[in-house]
């Protein structure tokens, strides 16, 4: 099979993903072999490729927003058969035995494995997945439309939950890429007012097209204090700025897996019971709840398509913030 493989951390400007031919592994036990049709690209892939997240496996095939069809199944797989269309997210497997798994926080599992990080991912024509951690894709969505739902969507949904936003409240979104353009649709479904902060004029215009109440840069103050905010940007310097927009008791959720250092700030920004919290991975419940809601709304993903062999160029555009909505590799039929 053809794949785009990362052999060691490098800037994406160096075209670090190498086209390679690889043998196809046969699924065992509860594994399934998928023919990949589409795979979304994500800032987490960027952090892995450039070494901001230490490599767990080298070489590794990135990609964790995978849509494909079942080609083969392991002997202990139940619930899926040849030809089923499924999605594979970031969370590849959890142990089910540690304290976090037992209390329902499998996203914090001590032994968790992640797609495109601990195991090879979807920048390839085929991929092995664990059948307990894949999801049927609603018929409403094409392969390309569905791919961003599997991380940008799920993580954005978890971030919304952890931000403590309530229906009809005011929500701030910092950064307006793949996750935010989905999160704003969920927030509107909940009748929230959404205030978007982005340094790029075209992203602010995109947010306005999707119904943002107000848009501006992170250096601007919105016309009203916000009940909650989510930062999708991996920029620590935004944290004090976001805190300054929150009402008393408001919550700021940090949705990235990586962030540059957060500068020191005056305690008054945090005082009055404001909260900062991180968002770490997601659970199967998050995925199931979000995919059901995405079909109900329905969420409309805006995607830019790239061929598998153009993965380096796609990652370069992602780094520069020049992708409108979500980037997706078109791999198969």
Residues 54-65: tens digit of each pLDDT: 999 999 999 999
One domain for residues 166 and 120: no
> What predicted TM-score, i.e. pTM, was given to this entire model?
0.95
Residue 184 phi, psi dihedral angles, 5° rounding: -65, -30
Q: Where is the domain boundary, 278, 296, 316? A: 278
Q: d(Cα 241, Cα 219) in Å, to the nearest integer?
A: 7
One domain for residues 145 and 29: yes
One domain for residues 214 and 117: no
pLDDT value of residue 265 = 97
One domain for residues 144 and 231: no
47: its two tokens: 């952090």
One domain for residues 195 and 251: yes
The count of domains in the chain is 2
282 Cβ neighbours under 8 A, 6+ residues apart: 89, 90, 91, 107, 154, 155, 158
Residue labelled with tokens 């069809």:
69
- At 298, which CATH number? 3.90.180.10
One domain for residues 74 and 201: no
The pairing of strands 226-231 and 326-330 is unpaired
- Cα–Cα distance list, 212 to 66, 170, 173, 195, 228 (Å): 29, 11, 10, 6, 15
SS3 state of residue 235? coil
- Cα–Cα distance list, 54 to 107, 118, 128, 223, 236 (Å): 19, 11, 22, 41, 19
One domain for residues 123 and 255: no
One domain for residues 120 and 233: no
Query: Whole domain around residue 142: which residue ranges?
Result: 2-149+281-330
pLDDT value of residue 13 = 97
One domain for residues 231 and 245: yes
pLDDT value of residue 24 = 86
One domain for residues 191 and 95: no
Residue by residue, pLDDT tens for the chain (333 residues) are 999 999 999 999 999 999 999 998 899 999 999 999 999 999 999 999 999 999 999 999 999 999 999 999 999 999 999 999 999 999 999 999 999 999 999 999 999 999 999 999 999 999 999 999 999 999 999 999 999 999 999 999 999 999 999 999 999 999 999 999 999 999 999 999 999 999 999 999 999 999 999 999 999 999 999 999 999 999 999 999 999 999 999 999 999 999 999 999 999 999 999 999 999 999 999 999 999 999 999 999 999 999 999 999 999 999 999 999 999 999 986
301-313 burial, b at 16+ Cβ within 10 Å, e below that, comes to bbbbebebebbbe
One domain for residues 285 and 145: yes
Question: Of 230, 262, 234, 260, which Cα lies nearest the Cα of 245?
Answer: 230
- At 160, which CATH number? 3.40.50.720
One domain for residues 104 and 169: no
pLDDT value of residue 4 = 98
């Amino acid at each position: 099979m053809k794949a785009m493989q990362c052999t060691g951390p490098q800037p994406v400007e160096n075209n670090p993903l190498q086209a390679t031919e690889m043998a196809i592994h046969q699924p065992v036990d509860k594994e399934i072999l998928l023919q990949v049709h589409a795979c979304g690209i994500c800032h987490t892939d960027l952090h892995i490729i450039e070494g901001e997240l230490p490599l767990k496996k080298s070489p590794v095939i990135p990609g964790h927003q995978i849509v494909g069809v079942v080609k083969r199944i392991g002997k202990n797989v139940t619930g899926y058969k040849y030809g089923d269309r499924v999605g594979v997210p970031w969370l590849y497997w959890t142990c089910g035995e540690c304290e976090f798994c037992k209390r329902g926080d499998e996203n914090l599992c001590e032994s968790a494995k992640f797609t495109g990080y601990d195991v090879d991912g979807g920048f390839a024509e085929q991929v092995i997945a664990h059948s307990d951690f894949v999801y049927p894709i609603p018929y409403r969505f094409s392969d390309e439309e569905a791919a961003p739902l599997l991380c940008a969507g799920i993580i954005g949904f978890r971030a919304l939950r952890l931000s403590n936003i309530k229906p009809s409240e005011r929500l701030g979104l910092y950064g307006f890429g793949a996750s935010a353009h989905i999160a704003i649709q969920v927030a509107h479904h909940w009748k929230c007012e959404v205030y978007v902060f982005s340094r790029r004029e075209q992203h602010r215009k995109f947010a306005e097209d999707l119904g943002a109440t107000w848009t501006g840069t992170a250096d601007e103050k919105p016309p009203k204090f916000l009940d909650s905010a989510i930062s999708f940007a991996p920029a620590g310097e935004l944290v004090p700025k976001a805190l300054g927009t929150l009402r008393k008791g408001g919550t700021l959720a940090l949705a990235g897996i990586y962030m540059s250092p957060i500068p020191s700030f005056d305690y008054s920004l945090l005082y009055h019971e404001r909260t900062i919290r991180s968002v770490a991975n997601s659970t199967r419940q998050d995925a199931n709840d979000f995919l059901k809601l995405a079909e109900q709304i329905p969420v409309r993903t805006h995607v830019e398509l790239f061929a598998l062999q153009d993965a380096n160029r796609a990652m370069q555009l992602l780094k520069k913030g020049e992708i409108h909505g979500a980037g997706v590799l078109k791999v198969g039929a």
